[in-house]
């Protein structure tokens, strides 16, 4: 039998209703902040991610699903949402809309990763991008919104870690200092770190190799080298988060895996597993990088599979949609009546099932039981003739006499 590719998941009905439930709650939070949904293509020209996410990142160097299409163009399945959304913002003239432009998305992403718990090759992100404001208030707004996603899903045991990675100006000064520190042991770092030394030494701090981690102990921290503007911005973010009673830690090791970040970066981490469930930050240079005017922006994305793990752990009674009614019927005229009634009820938003097998009453009854139908009505010869039937509540066993018309059935659902 052909199996699904490694790192992908089938979302079966026994889980999809939980996703729908959570997605609806998250969507409400995003819309309460007046973010509007955007959907962008699954694939983009490869250059978009090379320029946006950055040539020296793991995502671009190792993880992209890239191929030439039949016209010989290099195409990449989106590994993240921000680059595509910013492209769409520019391409569709959204820069002339009232600023800021606030967009959210729920989209599948593709990264060729080592598959492990919480790390898939096809995964989903719900993300938000606030484009246009450079104020610390925008950082605070998206962090509050992210925090409210966890509140709305009743997910505890999440910690917020924040950091500032400065702007290109203070970062280039810091990079010099960092290179001096790393340079002393560069020959003994792993090959990936060596290749990043010239272009992106900050990424070396994020290396997971044991020996590199050891050399990194005591490295100078970006946060100690911020320029006045970045320092003030970060102080204001912290002040306002405190004001809003949001608990956070400063984690100077957060550098994030994508190159477009500037100033504030943040991650919401599952305290039990240590997995980052939501990550984001400011990216003041990306719109310009893609050919637009200088336009500061800030956003985040949450990994829906990781979010759902937590949602299911802390919410045991997620509303499952089960049929309100099963109509048993047999015979041509009885089936006509069953179709008429079930169509009327479905129009009124009730979940109704009926026989579509021409099965015996006994097997219809068995099926109704298996699907946990809340109520049952039998339409047989007598019921049809008299225009009367019984409706049975399957959880209490109670039976009631009804007129075999929609109005009377509705009173009993």
Positions that interact with ligand HAM (CB under 6 A):
80-82, 111, 113, 118-120, 123, 125, 127, 129, 257-258, 276-281, 283, 299-303, 305-306
Task: Write down the residue that tokens 């009804």 correspond to.
Answer: 402
CB of 392 to ligand HAM, least distance (A): 46
Q: Which is nearer to ligand HAM, 54 or 81 (CB)?
A: 81
Q: Which is nearer to ligand HAM, 52 or 323 (CB)?
A: 52
Closest of 130, 122, 137, 73 to residue 105, by C-alpha: 130
Task: Write down the residue that tokens 């309100």 correspond to.
Answer: 324
CB of 295 to ligand HAM, least distance (A): 14
Q: Which is nearer to ligand HAM, 146 or 182 (CB)?
A: 146
CA distances from 172 to 100, 165, 166, 176, 205 (A): 29, 11, 9, 6, 15
352-354 vs 325-329, strand pairing mode: parallel
Q: Which is nearer to ligand HAM, 149 or 384 (CB)?
A: 149
- Distance CA(365)–CA(237), nearest Å, equals 61
Torsion over CA: 259, 264, 268, 269 (sign): positive
CB of 189 to ligand HAM, least distance (A): 23
The sheet carrying 122-131 orders its strands as 36-37, 101-110, 122-131, 297-303, 276-282, 262-270, 158-164, 249-250
CB of 294 to ligand HAM, least distance (A): 17
CB of 58 to ligand HAM, least distance (A): 10
- Distance CA(257)–CA(278), nearest Å, equals 13
Q: Which is nearer to ligand HAM, 119 or 221 (CB)?
A: 119
Residue nearest to ligand HAM as judged by C-beta position: 303
Task: Tell me which H or E stretch contains 360.
Answer: none
Q: Which is nearer to ligand HAM, 258 or 377 (CB)?
A: 258
DSSP 192: H
- Distance CA(222)–CA(389), nearest Å, equals 76
CB of 303 to ligand HAM, least distance (A): 2
Instruction: Provide the 3-class DSSP secondary structure of residue 250.
Output: strand
CB of 388 to ligand HAM, least distance (A): 56
Q: Which is nearer to ligand HAM, 112 or 181 (CB)?
A: 112
Contact between 235 and 166 under an 8 Å Cβ cutoff? The reply is no
- Distance CA(265)–CA(254), nearest Å, equals 7
Q: Which is nearer to ligand HAM, 189 or 261 (CB)?
A: 261
CB of 47 to ligand HAM, least distance (A): 17
């Amino acid at each position: 039998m052909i199996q699904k590719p490694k790192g992908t998941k089938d979302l079966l009905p026994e889980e999809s209703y939980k996703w729908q439930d959570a997605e609806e709650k998250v969507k409400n939070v995003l819309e309460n902040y007046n973010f509007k949904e955007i959907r962008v293509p699954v694939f983009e020209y490869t250059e978009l991610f090379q320029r946006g996410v950055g040539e020296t990142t793991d995502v671009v160097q190792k993880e992209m699903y890239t191929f030439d299409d039949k016209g010989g163009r290099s195409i990449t399945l989106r590994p993240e949402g921000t680059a595509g959304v910013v492209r769409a913002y520019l391409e569709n003239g959204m820069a002339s809309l009232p600023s800021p432009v606030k967009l959210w998305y729920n989209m599948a992403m593709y990264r060729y990763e080592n598959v492990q718990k919480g790390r898939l090759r096809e995964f989903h992100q719900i993300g938000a991008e606030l484009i246009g404001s450079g104020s610390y208030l925008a950082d605070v707004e998206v962090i509050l919104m992210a925090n409210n996603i966890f509140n709305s899903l009743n997910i505890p045991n999440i910690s917020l870690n924040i950091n500032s990675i400065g702007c290109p100006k203070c970062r280039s000064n810091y990079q010099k200092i960092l290179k001096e520190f790393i340079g002393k042991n560069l020959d003994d770092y792993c090959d990936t770190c060596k290749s990043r030394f010239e272009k992106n030494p900050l990424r070396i701090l994020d290396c997971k190799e044991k020996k590199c981690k050891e050399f990194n102990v005591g490295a100078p921290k970006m946060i100690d080298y911020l320029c006045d503007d970045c320092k003030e911005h970060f102080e204001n973010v912290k002040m306002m988060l405190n004001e809003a009673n949001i608990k956070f830690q400063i984690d100077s090791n957060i550098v994030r895996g994508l190159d477009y970040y500037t100033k504030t970066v943040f991650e919401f981490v599952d305290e039990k597993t240590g997995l980052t469930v939501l990550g984001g930050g400011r990216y003041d240079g990306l719109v310009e990088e893609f050919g637009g005017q200088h336009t500061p922006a800030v956003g985040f994305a949450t990994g829906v599979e990781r979010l759902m793990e937590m949602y299911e752990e802390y919410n045991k009674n997620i509303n499952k949609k089960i049929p309100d009614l099963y109509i048993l019927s047999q015979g041509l005229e009885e089936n006509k009546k069953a179709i008429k009634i079930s169509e009327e009820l479905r129009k009124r938003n009730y979940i109704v099932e009926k026989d579509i097998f021409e099965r015996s009453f006994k097997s219809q009854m068995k099926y109704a039981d298996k699907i946990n139908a809340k109520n049952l009505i039998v339409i047989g010869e007598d019921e049809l003739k008299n225009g009367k039937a019984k409706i049975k509540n399957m959880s209490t066993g109670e039976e009631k006499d009804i007129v075999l018309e929609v109005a009377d059935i509705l009173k009993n659902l």
